[in-house]
A and B are shown apart, each in its own frame.
Chain A
Amino acid sequence: MSFDYDQYIRGGKLPHIWCPGCTYGIVFKSLLRAVDSLKIPKDDIALVSGIGCASRLPGYVDWNTLHTTHGRALPFATGLKMAKPDKKVLVVSGDGDATAIGGNHFIHACRRNIDITVIVLNNFIYGMTGGQHSPTTPSGHIATTMPYGNVDPNFNIPDLAKGAGASWVGRGTAYHVPALDKLIIEAMNHKGLSVLEIINACPTTHGRRNKFKNPTDMLLWMKDNSLPITAFDKLPPEKTAGKFPTGVLFKKEAPEYCETYYGLVEKLKKPKEGRA
């Protein structure tokens, strides 16, 4: 039986704003399937976003949803989570939203290891504002603010998340959909901050200017240039040059922020020993 997306989609809020060929719709459906399989009641989950094409996703899904300011989704989400630590909080962000304007919030959320899942939809460009370069735009690519080819060095989002202290880090693509469903489930099951980068295609403002004739070419690029981490790790560097690993890239056990904080609260509540 095919999956019933309607149970999660807000009646009357479609059509969505995304362009034909944009892969955000693929990720959207994957997210709904993943959360459905986790059996999280609709009232117990909040989806928070900043500003950008990626950040429009919450408007379409029938959970508690919050569309905030550019780059600031994580601190808004941190407020929700700290006030209601037993609820699920998800953040969806663009590459610019998460790592440029929101870069400081991103690394500090990772450091705190608060139990939030951050999904970064990396389309290598600023989509909503029309194709300016982002911290992930590949070297040499044309962007409206890099008309002679991008000269800015990049962030590698999983490395950034790991370095900042996130306890679960993964990467998927909009091409490898069944694997993506599993990655979202695993990220959300993890206790602590989980960061999932999802490689996406923006044919309108990125592909069109960078020799991808059509959206399919962009999906094929994802297929040809990604490797599951298990295979990636076994190959010599010359075989992996220019390719990126996918799957669960890193995970560790670390104290979760709400548990640590409210653990302290519990301790303070107990009367001190030896006193009347």
Chain B
Amino acid sequence: MGTLKLLQGNEACAEGALYAGCTFFAGYPITPSTEVAEFMARRLPQIGGAFLQMEDEIAAMAAVIGGSLAGAKTLTATSGPGFSLKQENLGFGMLCEVPCVVIDVMRGGPSTGVPTGPSQSDIMQCKWGTHGDHPVICLTPGYVQEIFSETVRAFNLAEKYRTPVIVAFDEIIGHMREKIEIPDKGVIPIENRKRPTVPPAEYMPFDETKGDVPPMADFFSGYRQHITGLNHASDGFPVNASPRIHTDELRLLRKIEANKKDIIRNEEYLLDDAEVAVFAYGVSGRSGKNAVEQARAAGIKAGLFRPLTMWPFPEEQVAALASRVRAIIVPELSLGQIILEVERCTKGRCKVEGIYRVDGDPINPTQILDKIKEVK
């Protein structure tokens, strides 16, 4: 039995980071993510780690990449406008394959928007916020316990696939307190990046002959290397020759796409015989579950699909679901972002209906239940 604690989602996130071996945090305060930084500021010096409150989110993203290149497991946390500021350096982390975890506690926008209200409207920014083509891993927990475990998983995926990983959740779960269990050390296995075994003279930081995820050496470890945000060859130096850039970008895509089985996780609740499915995540997933239970009690065959991995998108799962149900309902705290993905995967095989809300209040179960009854 681990330790039981009553924690806020943001605090559970920080606990998850520490459990995963994070020793480095850099951030800039922004509601509703600030408690992640405050927790890390208290705990990291106690364990010999580094906490930095940087001058802005751009700097914080840069510092976590720097810290990771020096061998640390690193974390930053932000919301809305701060997440936008991080995007250029997040792209750097993706192209240079630097593991790190970015928390986005979503708030309404655009602009300063609704700082103290929940939102799910950064979900496309999570995927396409930076420029260029790239894959992304983005996890979307819905309970305080899950924020803990998904943050651990985010670090593991970052280390395993040598990439930044985003964990996106909304203000409600970020600030909600729930009882959670923090397992004893070792219960959840911890991944560490593959480090090179070749002699330093032979080391190449992006050596594709070593697999889609090449081993990564720490700065100052004897493996001298050059890292640049320009497209680069195996040795890390810039190239502008077209075949190399193309194959390397395909490798980046493949290292995530080919491992979707390992990366994608979701909860399927009462879907076996369902005629209507609710596709919802985060706080809307909680309302969705309640609505499904009420529908069942009323004799309606409803079920819930709750993605814990939003990117890569659970395409095959949604496609399979679409051939079994009559309708998929997508409640989301946005004016309809993730519904586009659901529609893309259903390819017209079933009805897709959205429930949208952007006024800083959650979608309640009754709204979803009404929709279930409507499409039945």
Asked if A84 and B227 make an inter-chain contact with CB atoms under 8 angstroms apart, the answer reads: no
Determine if B222 is an interface residue (Cβ-Cβ < 8 Å): yes
Q: Which B residues are closer than 8 A to A by beta carbons?
A: 24, 26, 45-46, 48, 50, 52, 54-56, 58-60, 62-72, 74, 88-89, 92, 219-222, 224-230, 237-238
Q: Which A residues are closer than 8 A to B by beta carbons?
A: 10, 13, 42-44, 46, 48, 58-59, 62-69, 72, 74-84, 87, 104-105, 108, 261, 264-265, 268-269
Contact A80 to B45, CB < 8 A, known contacts A65-B226, A69-B92:
no
A10 CA to B238 CA in the complex, in Å?
A: 14
Contact A43 to B224, CB < 8 A, known contacts A79-B26, A80-B70:
yes
Contact A67 to B230, CB < 8 A, known contacts A46-B220, A62-B224, A80-B67:
yes
Main secondary structure of the interface of B (DSSP, over half): mixed
State the total of A-B contacts with C-beta under 8 angstroms: 127
Asked if B228 and A82 make an inter-chain contact with CB atoms under 8 angstroms apart, the answer reads: no
Task: Please name 30 pairs of A and B residues whose Cβ atoms are closer than 8 Å in the assembled complex, sorted by A.
Answer: A43-B221, A43-B222, A44-B220, A59-B226, A59-B237, A59-B238, A66-B66, A66-B226, A67-B227, A67-B229, A68-B65, A68-B89, A68-B229, A69-B62, A75-B63, A75-B66, A78-B54, A79-B24, A79-B26, A79-B52, A79-B62, A79-B74, A80-B70, A83-B24, A84-B219, A87-B220, A108-B55, A261-B50, A264-B45, A268-B45
Residues of B within 8 A of A69 (CB): 62, 88-89, 92, 229
Asked if A79 and B237 make an inter-chain contact with CB atoms under 8 angstroms apart, the answer reads: no
A68 CA to B226 CA in the complex, in Å?
A: 11
Asked if B66 and A79 make an inter-chain contact with CB atoms under 8 angstroms apart, the answer reads: yes
Report the minimum CB–CB distance from A74 to chain B (whole Å).
8
Contact of A78 among B52, B69, B88 (CB under 8 A): B52
Residues of A within 8 A of B64 (CB): 79
Residues of A within 8 A of B68 (CB): 79
Asked if B45 and A43 make an inter-chain contact with CB atoms under 8 angstroms apart, the answer reads: no
Contact of B70 among A42, A59, A65, A79 (CB under 8 A): A79
A46 CA to B69 CA in the complex, in Å?
A: 11
Contact of B60 among A13, A75, A264 (CB under 8 A): A75
Given A66-B227, A78-B63, A84-B220, 14 new contacts (CB under 8 A): A67-B226, A68-B92, A69-B88, A72-B58, A75-B60, A76-B62, A76-B65, A78-B62, A79-B69, A79-B74, A80-B219, A87-B220, A104-B56, A265-B45
Q: Which residue of B is nearest A62, CB measured?
A: B224
